[in-house]
Structure formats: structure tokens, C-alpha cells
Amino acid sequence: MGKKFSGASQIMSRFRGWIQAGATLLTNLHLPNFLKGKLYQGAGKTVCVPGLNCYSCPAASGACPIGAFQAVVGSSKFSFSYYITGFLILLGVLLGRFICGFLCPFGWFQELLHKIPTKKFSTKKLKPLRYLKYAVLLVMVFLLPAFLVNDVGMGDPFFCKYLCPQGVMEGAIPLSLANSGIRSALGSLFTWKFGILLAVIVLSVIFYRPFCKWLCPLGAFYALFNRVSLFQIKVDKNKCVSCGKCAKACKMDVDVTKAPNHTECIRCGMCIRTCPTGAVRFRYGFGDGKDKTKAAKKAAEKQ
């Protein structure tokens, strides 16, 4: 009934930074395109990458799921993005927000910024802002592109166009640097989104992953699958001494022992590394792993 990580959980979370770097590189393989100011337009672009990574990044190896969803849902040809939704549900079930913690380039970018040594602030009191990302998903990614259409049935990709800082950083900035035609096309929209990017950068230094917590529609989508995902975090009640260190260590403000598979958990594994008794671990597969607890209980009863 599925694999279990124990020592593996520790190793995974310890090497998370390297996995993030690797995933970012794989998501952006075509590095020479940065100099050419061109986009890779091959077959890879017909598939979505798991994380938030702009299609218009010169190096991008695939399409952004959020961008692709909006492009299809807002197109006059289709009414709904079935293929991309299916793909996202599959990823949600297979990995959930593990993608945020391990595979997303923009998540990694925010984490790197957070490493800059300054005074850090807790986001515990800002918890209501978490719901904003679901609104972004519903309104900017789905409703507006699908229903606010022009006379020929076309909608704008609202999230990409008006909000996404990753698009500015990976797409607009490198392309406009290398391509004079695009440079001359920059307008007020660019200024606005550049402002958003700057704000996210500044906030990332003082808060941990502000964009993931409050705005990211992709994170919101995966969050909905965290509870049912095959990738889980388990707390062994027998080993847990209720010290509360895990909840304190959690930078996503999750109370690990109460809700190990909370929508906000990005599977970073900080709790696993701080747990003094090794009670917290990753678990992959079907079932909830209660058998082990039961077995332990039975053993206790026998004594």
C-alpha cells in the first residue's frame, strides 16, 4: 500500500534547494534564447510545466498552465480548457502543493529573496489574505477571460495581462532587453506590472513566499487537492510529544499536528526536520497509513 518515506523525508527536505534549482533549469532549458531574444516554439510548448513559469520566457521549455488555461478559455474557438484542467487535476492528485515547494521556479525565486538577511515578519496575522488567491483563480483566470469577451468572442488573459509578476520577470524584461521591437512596444501596462514585480520582490524579502500565500492561482488550484493528493504528510501520534515545534517552524503558518495536509502546506518539510522525535514524515500512496498506528496500539494492548 504505497511507499513510505522516513529517512527519505529528511533527505528530500534537506536537498530541497537543489531540487528546486534543478526543476527551474528543466523548466527553462533553452538558455541561449536569452541572448537571441527569441522564444523556443517547438513541441515542448504544447505541454504545460507544473510550476508557474511564463510561456514567454525565452528559455522556457513548456507552457505555463495558468497562461494556457486562460488562452484556451478566452479563445473564441473553445468554451472551456478541458485538457489543461485535466492535466492540473492529475498533477494535483499526484503531487498537490509539493509542486509549490519543490518544483515551482517562482516559488524558489521568492525563497532565495527571503534568504537576504533582514528583519523578517510573520504572516500569521495576515491569514485572511490567503483567500485572495482563490478569488484570483476564479475571477482573473476563469470568469473574466471566459465571459468578458469582445464582439468576436475573445477574452483577455486577465491574470497574465494585469497581475502576473513572473511574466514580467521572465518574459517582458529579458525579451525587451534583447529585442528592440518589443522594447518599443512597452507601455503603461508594463510599468504597472513592473511595479507589481517590485512589490513582490520587496515583500518576499521580509515575508516568506507572499505571492504563493496570497495571490498565486496555480497554488490555489493545487491547494484544493492537497487533502486528497497521493503526496501526504503523516504525523505519527504515538511518537508525537506535542512540543509544537513543527507549527513554530512552519513558514506557511500551518498547525502541522492538527492538519498535516492543510491547503497551505507546500510540503517543504521544515516540520519534518525540526521534529525531535521523527514523528512527521512524507508519505506517498493510497490509504492513510493508519495500519501502523493500529498495529502499535495492538502491541500496546498486548503488553
List the x/- string, 198-237, binding to another protein by CB under 8 A.
Answer: ----------------------------------------
Region of 110-118, 182-190, 191-199, 288-296 interacting with another protein (CB under 8 A): 182-190
Residue 154 sits in the site that holds another protein (CB under 8 A): yes
Cell numbers at 145, concatenated: 477571460
Backbone angles phi, psi at 149, to 5 degrees: -115, 160
Which positions from 40 to 59 touch another protein by CB under 8 A, shown as an x/- string?
A: -x------------------
Helix (H) or strand (E) holding 235: strand 231-235
For the record, the C-alpha cell of 244 comes out as: 509544537
Nearer of residues 177 and 201 to another protein, judged by Cβ: 177
Alpha carbon 55 to chain centroid, angstroms: 16
**How many C-beta atoms surround the C-beta of residue 46 within 10 A?**
9
3, 77, 125, 258: which one binds another protein (CB under 8 A)? 77
Note whether 192 binds another protein by CB under 8 A.
no
CB of residue 76 to another protein, shortest distance in Å = 6
Check residue 105 for interaction with another protein (CB under 8 A): no
The number of residues that bind another protein (CB under 8 A) is: 25
> Residue 158 and residue 28: Cα distance in Å, rounded?
24
Among 150, 191, 242, 303, binds another protein (CB under 8 A): 150
CA distance 194 to 162: 10
281 has which bridge partners?
234
CA distances from 258 to 66, 161, 275 (A): 31, 39, 15
Q: What is the largest CA-CA distance in the chain?
A: 79
**Closer to another protein at the Cβ: 2 or 153?**
153
Are the beta carbons of 167 and 174 closer than 8 angstroms? Answer: no
The distance of closest approach from Cβ of residue 174 to another protein in the complex, given in angstroms and rounded to an integer, is 13
- Single-letter residue type at 225: F
Residue 167 binds another protein, judged by CB under 8 A: no
- Is-contact 58 22, C-beta < 8 A? no
Q: Determine the Cα–Cα distance for residues 107 and 213; give it in Å rounded to an integer.
A: 10
* Least spacing, CB of residue 289 vs another protein, in Å: 47
The nearer residue to another protein, 1 or 152, going by C-beta atoms, is 152
Measured from the CB atom, the residue of 185 and 241 that comes closer to another protein is 185
> Which of positions 16-45 make contact with another protein (CB under 8 A)?
36-39, 41
Positions that interact with another protein (CB under 8 A): 36-39, 41, 71, 74-77, 150-152, 154-156, 175, 178-182, 184-185, 187
